[in-house]
Amino acid sequence: MDRLHIKGGAHLNGRIPVSGAKNSALKLMVACLLTDQPITLTNMPSLADTRFLAQLMETLGVEVYWPKGESTCHLNGAELKSTIAPYDQVRKMRASFNVLGPLIARSGHATVSLPGGCAIGARPVDLHLQALEAMGADLRVEQGYVKAAAIHGLKGAHINFSMPSVGATEHAMLTATLAEGETVLENAAREPEIEDLANCLNSMGAKITGAGTSKIRIQGVEKLNGTTHAVMPDRIEAGTYAMAAAAAGGDVTLEGAPVAALGAMISKLKEAGVTVEADEAANTVRIVRNGTRLKSVNVSTQPHPGFPTDLQAQFMALMSLADGTSIIRETIFENRFMHAPELQRLGAEILVRGQEAIVKGVPQLTGAPVMATDLRASVSLVIAGLAAEGETVVNRIYHLDRGFERLEEKLNACGASIERRSGDDE
């Protein structure tokens, strides 16, 4: 298993290009199931998750042309050959479950394994299933699979989500594009990736309005066309590198950053005493911290436009070094503090009480062997390792490879010292 050896203590200086967003790319790939015409996605991040989903697409009969090292992915679902998404190809990530509705819309039936993804909470799929049932799908859950059929086709429906769910909103929106009549989604999630998906679907001929607000209307159409669409930049990757620069110190400019989507993160960094220069026209964010100690800041994760749960672990690494005590509340997932005991190995002082972590900042962290437990937890350990004195070894980095493209290369280009080695955990 690969691990990262990080020599901490160096300031980061330079420019980091932001890759396409994993959480957008995955749902955009699923959209190819809705049409028999080719879809071309540019700015595609080459990640374990996107490559793995490409394999599931191939199992379903989609022709995928995406050479290694290229950021353009061609998907052609002219003829689907299967409507079964097997356990082994769905269990590793959340987004793969979103093939269920599109397969029903396209073929009238589907059998899809219950999903996996980061182990950060119970993560039920009840809202996904309720939305599909409201559109007329008959569903049974048997032996870990959802078996679905819509003998009379899918019909538009009025769906009022009991909580905003990113995955359920996207799933319902994808499915409703080909349902008969109008679908209205109330209390929909407002994450920017939902807007990205709606823009792509509209360019395929869908009729979606309101994406990015809590009320989305989808007027079903008979057929969708192919398209070419650029995946939006990854706000979580951008936020992660912003926090890495803030923790290690230095002067880093993020290039191709989705500035408008980073509002909550930028204001928290500023509160912590970091200089942040965001330029929306140039799509850049400059992060500067030289010498001054970070200030402690409280944060509570919230659905967009609030502070994202996918940046909570990274912010905890940062607050481990702040002057004072900060309270970090996780309100989206019930088990997303697994990085706390690992950060403690580096000398962080963190007390977890239910949904709150109380972080008492220390002046200096010290390198140690740690273990990655999920995607964002892993990268929080990289951030802490960059700021720590001495060597940190992050074991089990396959989690990291799910969501960060060329992480060592990007950080080393700014002066970090990160080396990937294979072999047993240390």
Residue positions forming the annotated binding site for phosphoenolpyruvate: 22-23
Q: Which of 332, 348, 419, 424 is nearest to 381 (CA)?
A: 348
Considering CB under 6 A, how many residues would be counted as binding ligand UD1? Answer: 22
Choosing among ligand UD1, ligand PEP, none, which partner's interface includes residue 403 (Cβ < 5 to 8 Å by kind)?
ligand PEP
Distance CA 178, CA 207 (A): 10
* Cβ distance to ligand PEP smaller for residue 191 or 391: 191
Neighbours of 124 (CB within 10 A): 10
Residue 117 sits in the site that holds ligand PEP (CB under 6 A): yes
Smallest distance, ligand PEP to C-beta of residue 216, A:
20
**Contacting ligand UD1 within 287-326 (CB under 6 A):** 309-310
Smallest distance, ligand UD1 to C-beta of residue 55, A:
17
Distance CA 93, CA 23 (A): 11
- Counting beta carbons within 10 angstroms of the beta carbon of residue 152, is it exposed (0 to 12), middle (13 to 18) or buried (19 or more)? exposed
Smallest distance, ligand PEP to C-beta of residue 375, A:
5
Residue 357 sits in the site that holds ligand PEP (CB under 6 A): no
**Contacting ligand UD1 within 84-113 (CB under 6 A):** 94-95
Q: Which tokens sit at 203?
A: 């360019």
Q: Mapping DSSP to helix (H, G, I), strand (E, B) and coil, where does residue 388 land?
A: coil
* Cβ distance to ligand PEP smaller for residue 299 or 322: 299
Taking each continuous run of H as one helix and of E as one strand, the counts in the chain are 14, 24
In the shown chain, the binding pattern of residues 361 to 380 toward ligand PEP, with x for contact by CB under 6 A and - for none, equals --------------xx----
- 194: which residues sit within 8 A by CB, 6+ positions away? 166, 169, 170, 173, 188, 211, 212, 216
> For the sheet containing 284-289, what is the strand order?
12-17, 250-255, 284-289, 275-279
Query: One-letter amino acid identity for 398?
Result: Y
Choosing among ligand PEP, ligand UD1, none, which partner's interface includes residue 141 (Cβ < 5 to 8 Å by kind)?
none
Query: One-letter amino acid identity for 4?
Result: L
- 51: which residues sit within 8 A by CB, 6+ positions away? 66
Question: Binding ligand PEP by CB under 6 A: which of 93, 137, 272, 379?
Answer: 93
Going by their DSSP bridges, the two strands 158-160 and 109-113 should be labelled as: unpaired
* Cβ distance to ligand UD1 smaller for residue 219 or 355: 355
Smallest distance, ligand PEP to C-beta of residue 172, A:
17
> Is 118 known to be catalytic?
yes
Question: Binding ligand UD1 by CB under 6 A: which of 15, 123, 217, 396?
Answer: 123
**8 Å CB contact between 184 and 216:** yes
Residue 125 sits in the site that holds ligand UD1 (CB under 6 A): yes
Q: Mapping DSSP to helix (H, G, I), strand (E, B) and coil, where does residue 74 land?
A: strand
**Contacting ligand PEP within 402-421 (CB under 6 A):** 403
In the shown chain, the binding pattern of residues 246 to 285 toward ligand UD1, with x for contact by CB under 6 A and - for none, equals ----------------------------------------
Pick the piece of the chain touching ligand PEP (CB under 6 A) from 91-99, 176-184, 250-258, 296-304: 91-99
- 258: which residues sit within 8 A by CB, 6+ positions away? 18, 21, 192, 232, 233, 234, 235, 238, 283
Smallest distance, ligand PEP to C-beta of residue 236, A:
7
Residue 94 sits in the site that holds ligand PEP (CB under 6 A): yes
Strand intervals (E) in 80-206: 84-85, 109-113, 138-142, 145-149, 158-160, 182-186
By CB under 6 A, name the binding residues for ligand UD1. 23, 26, 94-95, 121-128, 163, 165-168, 189, 309-310, 332-333
**Any idea which residues carry the catalytic annotation?**
118
